[in-house]
Chain A
Amino acid sequence: DAKTTQPPSMDCAEGRAANLPCNHSTISGNEYVYWYRQIHSQGPQYIIHGLKNNETNEMASLIITEDRKSSTLILPHATLRDTAVYYCIVRDLAGNNRKLIWGLGTSLAVNP
């Protein structure tokens, strides 16, 4: 089962920041939080990942709470091309098992 919970859908106005929340209350100390997005049946696209510190790259910022039980992906200036399903994933470390366990994600609609 997925170890994360996300709202099923969100809306955002074009040009505004999109803040996508994710709960991962059972995360263990060495597990990373990964974010991917999938645009209409294409292959998932890697966005960002982090362990405990906040991270930023050219696509987005990742804010992880101090207790690591939740995180927020921030798209600072959303565009119509950011409309996609966003997946928050905790990397399964059981027995060196590296598989990604996917939930149903958040469907983000960026509106003009």
Chain B
Amino acid sequence: KAGVTQTPRYLIKTRGQQVTLSCSPISGHRSVSWYQQTPGQGLQFLFEYFSETQRNKGNFPGRFSGRQFSNSRSEMNVSTLELGDSALYLCASSLDLTVQETQYFGPGTRLLVL
């Protein structure tokens, strides 16, 4: 099976712009989670989607949003970009919402905000 794919892999934006990142989960996986990784904060949970519904949300401002489509693909959007949004954005998929279900990560999208 193909793994989790994320597009684009690299992105450069300027402050105030918005950005949309895409994630395609492993075939058959219905849950998608998003994480932000920065050198200072490590990996931080953004949100999780299952069956097109947001199931969990981390402590990020409303500028960070996401959605999931009927084919389980997910997008996340960051509006009014700030310099501090520069980070590696990681998507992880799992089969369902079973607590012990393993999450598998994509390669990430590296966002640089100038």
Q: Which A residues contact B (CB, under 8 angstroms)?
A: 30, 32, 34, 36, 41-46, 49, 51, 87, 91, 93, 96-105
Instruction: Please name all residues of chain A whose beta carbon is closer than 8 Å to the beta carbon of B105 when the two chains form the complex.
Output: 36, 43-46
The reply to whether B42 and A103 form a contact with Cβ atoms under 8 Å apart is yes
Instruction: Please name all residues of chain A whose beta carbon is closer than 8 Å to the beta carbon of B66 when the two chains form the complex.
Output: none
CA distance A51 to B100 in the complex (A): 9
Instruction: Please name all residues of chain A whose beta carbon is closer than 8 Å to the beta carbon of B88 when the two chains form the complex.
Output: 41
Instruction: Please name all residues of chain B whose beta carbon is closer than 8 Å to the beta carbon of A34 when the two chains form the complex.
Output: 102
The reply to whether B56 and A43 form a contact with Cβ atoms under 8 Å apart is no
Instruction: Please name all residues of chain A whose beta carbon is closer than 8 Å to the beta carbon of B100 when the two chains form the complex.
Output: 32, 49, 51, 91
- Whether B90 is near chain A, meaning CB under 8 Å from some CB there, is yes
Q: Which B residues contact A (CB, under 8 angstroms)?
A: 4, 33, 35, 42-45, 48, 56, 58, 88, 90, 92, 97, 99-108, 110
Return the chain B residue nearest A102 by Cβ: B43
Contact among B4, B48, B107 for A98, CB-based, below 8 A: B48
In the complex, besides A43-B90, A44-B43, 11 extra interface pairs with C-beta distance below 8 angstroms are A42-B107, A43-B106, A43-B108, A46-B105, A87-B43, A98-B48, A99-B45, A102-B42, A102-B44, A103-B42, A104-B42
A/B interface sample: 26 pairs, CB < 8 A:
A32-B99, A34-B102, A36-B105, A41-B88, A43-B105, A43-B107, A43-B108, A44-B90, A44-B105, A46-B103, A46-B105, A49-B100, A51-B100, A87-B43, A91-B99, A91-B100, A96-B97, A98-B56, A98-B101, A99-B33, A100-B33, A101-B45, A102-B43, A102-B44, A103-B42, A105-B42
